[in-house]
Amino acid sequence: MALKEKTVLQEFFGDYPLIRVLDYLLENRLEDHSKTEIARGADVGWSTLFQYWGRLEARGIVRVTRSFGKTKLYKINEASHFVKLLKKMEFELIRGAMETDAKEARIAVVRAK
């Protein structure tokens, strides 16, 4: 199995199951997902997902988008204040990483001369 590159949230907060779940939901926010898809996509176990799921629902971080039979599909709740802050933080972390990469590239060019 190939190692996945860590996301900016994982690099900043650590590679923890809850971070992976939030990351997956943020990265795939245009689509809705079953809990099984979320667990698989976030690379966390089913029981691990359920350790956090109640908190995610109670705090309005995820929302049901549709249901059919016993199956419910979920998305990250972009109306949630917490999610808005998380998205802003992710953006700022990405921007900071890009600035650092650009600075390091400029330094490498100067040293190569």
Distance, CA of 51 to CA of 58 (rounded, Å): 13
- Three-state SS for 67? strand
- Mean pLDDT of the region 104-109: 64
Could you report the per-residue pLDDT of 50-93, keeping only the tens digit for each? 999 999 999 999 999 999 999 999 999 999 999 999 999 988 88
More confident residue, 92 or 108: 92
Domains in the chain (CATH in brackets) are 9-112 (1.10.10.10)
**Does 2 score more than 50 pLDDT?**
no
SS3 state at 53: helix
The Cβ of residue 53 has, within 10 Å, a number of other Cβ atoms equal to: 17
What mean pLDDT comes out for the span 1-26?
85
Q: Please state, as a whole number, how many other Cβ atoms lie within 10 Å of the Cβ of residue 76.
A: 23
At 6 the pLDDT is 84
CA pair distance 87, 10, nearest whole angstrom? 14
- Residue 7's pLDDT band (cuts 50, 70, 90): confident
pTM of the predicted protein model: 0.80
